[in-house]
Chains A and B, each alone.
Chain A
Amino acid sequence: MSEPILITKDLKKTYDDFEAVKGISFSVLRGEIFSLLGPNGAGKTTTISMLSCLLTPTSGTAVIDGRNIPQDSLAVRRVIGVVPQEIALYDELTARQNLHFWGQMYNLSGKALKQRTDEVLEQVNLADRANDRVETYSGGMKRRINIAVGLLHKPKLLFMDEPTVGIDPQSRRRILDMVTELRDEGMTVVYTTHYMEEAEELSDRVGIIDHGRLIALGTQNELRQVVGEQETVRLSFGEGHEANGHAELFNDVDCILAATSLDGEIVLSVREAAEALPAIVTRANGAGLPIRAIEIEEPNLEAVFLHLTGRALRN
């Protein structure tokens, strides 16, 4: 797991005056799950689109399995698989017909195509619904077939762009388990998400991306060291009291390094929670915000993002 299968250097993509990706450099090792973690609009999908040869980089280089992008794009496309964020399937066709069609696009045919179709249907646990039209599937089932298409030709490197967006917890669980299984089978996976929990559960290494820049990169332990011994304190308030707009109240409290509001809560990054709590409670009471619950978390990727950007991941 030491040899890189993907190396990018100063990769940029510009649309007119807008820089979607501002010079990203990273490498992905063979057999690892590498997550690109960042909020919506951070540049994750644009990066994946360049690496999957769909978009031509404005500048910079990218090498996949020893082949350059975009010069050797056809060869690169043979070794990569892509699971796009949108469900790119034909609703009017059955799952088997979809897989058959996409398999042919990846040069599969005959017995090999049939065998792989059956295998991936088993893999995503939809063999019993193989002959039903995709339009009759639930969102989670469509997501699984969407993934199955990306696996058909047994790619060396699989790009998965936010594959769990908009699905139920059960389907999400299945997909996360599947990603781990793929890694265990030797496949390299580049996984983009804005869910910190998914990146934490899956990733061997994580790249944190924001506003088109890679702002942190490393294993989860390495990233946590960025915030040192920082802890995260989450405050929720009584009914009728919104957290939004009140985060700045805590900016000048001693020991508080960053404050933001997220999902109706105020999220505080602190050096030592036990020391900071009295001042936090006093400031909340002084502002007329009745605290309903206080939650203290060990350092995590959310805290890293908060520390690096001053914003919560999903803001």
Chain B
Amino acid sequence: MNKILQIGWKDLIILFRDKGALLLMLGAPFVLTLGLGLVTGAFSGGSNGLTGIAMVVVNEDSGQLGQALADMFFSPDLEDLLVPQTAVSPQAARQLVDENEVAAAVIVPASFTDSILPDNSGQLGKPVSIEIYANPARPISASVVDSIVQGFVHQVETSMVSVNVAMTQLVMNGRIAPTNADDLMALGQEMGQRFITQDSAAPIIRLERDEAAAEAATNPNYLAFLAPGMAVAFLMYTVALGGRSILAERDSGTLARMLIAPTTTTEVLAGKVLGIYLTGAAQVSVLILASSLLFGLRWGSLPGVILLIATVAAAATGWGLLLASVATRPSQVSSLGTALMLIFGILGGSFAQIPFSGILGQLSKITPNAWAIDGFTTLGQGGTLADIAPALLALVVMALVLFGTAVLIFQRRSGALIAR
């Protein structure tokens, strides 16, 4: 056991002394996370910057003002800024926010128009509020939606007061017969009264801004998706590097020297596997720690994060070992490792959340990336160990299957560790 630990520890030290490898293991994912975070506006809490803000509107009002507000979100003027959709109910809209699908939900209540415009008898309905249900994970985007609604409200208020004043002036100047204008006068007075008597800062139309529940508040936004995605993607690079080291040690003669020593082949291979595993686990841990300290990301339950790191590093190590078992030269492992990193990164959603279906969807399940990102995202949103149990189990099974396969291949190619 001591020899296994020594071989593993030696590999860890050697890899962490390789500046080039460190740059790719730690620097690259960090810089990519940082860069993509800046490009996408993740650091400002935006969903996707100041374009394409996803939002949802629910119009329960049957009047013209509610329709005007709803139509405004779909107007050509806002098509670059917003990606609006409608929901059938306020609950459905709030759920979209809770699930981080949209930045905000605008809910227009049923009697909105009636509360602004008088009916034929000149009566106004009870004051109601437009609800803006904001996503705390996307504060900037939610504020943009809020501002748009505020602008609409301001426009309606200005129009209403202007109309009221204008009508009063017309009657006062004898341009309109008072008999015809009684109702309108009443309306104008009513509106004017409201406007005057109320606090000048208080609007005629009320807005209610609400934020999603605390659970969603812990949602670590797009950056929290990017960071584990990049960490796991580059973990594949690291394990490929570890797999490469088996063949590189074979070529440099150090593997043969270990086998000449009173050390069993099993100890040597186990030590090498441990080295790959430790390096991978250390890499992901460093990236997670750094993103917590520098980006303020919340990763959720510490035991869950530790278990997820342990299992994803094991599964990735399995892939690295499999690469080493099928390759004949170190350069082959590097090439295959890079290809695997990119393919798994795309399939597993390390670079973008692409919901694959069919065969691609099934294939994504063989990547450690998909399971790990799912687990990290769940934890970041406040998930528990029980919530990530499927991901943990999948990663452990993946690791066992890959280790077993690699060992079988190594056994078949018995001379692979010493053939020069």
Contacts and interface: CB of A to CB of B under 8 A. Distances in A.
A77 B261 contact: yes
Contacts of A97: 13
B159 interface: no
Q: DSSP majority for the A interface? A: loop
Contacts, number: 60
B42 to A, nearest CB: 37
Interface string B62-78: 00000000000000000
A2 interface: no
Given A86-B252, A92-B17, A105-B3, A55 B257 contact: no
A84 B253 contact: yes
A97 B10 CA distance: 9
Given A74-B262, A78-B262, A84 B10 contact: no
Given A88-B253, A92-B18, A104-B3, A54 B10 contact: no
Given A54-B259, A55-B418, A77-B262, A92 B14 contact: yes
A130 B10 CA distance: 17
A101 interface: yes
A53 interface: yes
A92 B248 CA distance: 14
B201 interface: no
Contact of A88 (B18, B256, B262): B256
A245 to B, nearest CB: 33
Interface in A95-126: 97, 101-102, 104-107, 109
Contact of A93 (B3, B13, B260, B263): B13
Nearest to A149: B257
Nearest to A159: B260
Nearest to A53: B260
A89 interface: yes
B242 to A, nearest CB: 15
Given A77-B262, A104-B2, A104-B6, A82 B257 contact: yes
B254 interface: yes
B258 interface: yes
Contacts of A203: none
Given A89-B254, A90-B254, A105 B14 contact: no
Given A54-B418, A104-B3, A82 B260 contact: yes
A165 interface: no
Given A77-B261, A102-B261, A86 B253 contact: yes
A141 interface: no
Q: With a 10 A CB-CB cut-off, give which of B17, B254, B258, B262 has the most chain A CB atoms.
A: B262
Given A54-B418, A84-B253, 8 more contacts: A74-B262, A87-B253, A90-B254, A92-B13, A92-B17, A97-B13, A105-B6, A105-B263
26 contacts: A53-B260, A54-B256, A54-B259, A54-B260, A55-B418, A74-B262, A78-B262, A82-B257, A82-B260, A84-B253, A84-B257, A85-B253, A87-B253, A88-B253, A97-B13, A104-B3, A104-B6, A105-B3, A105-B6, A105-B257, A105-B258, A105-B261, A105-B262, A105-B263, A106-B261, A106-B262
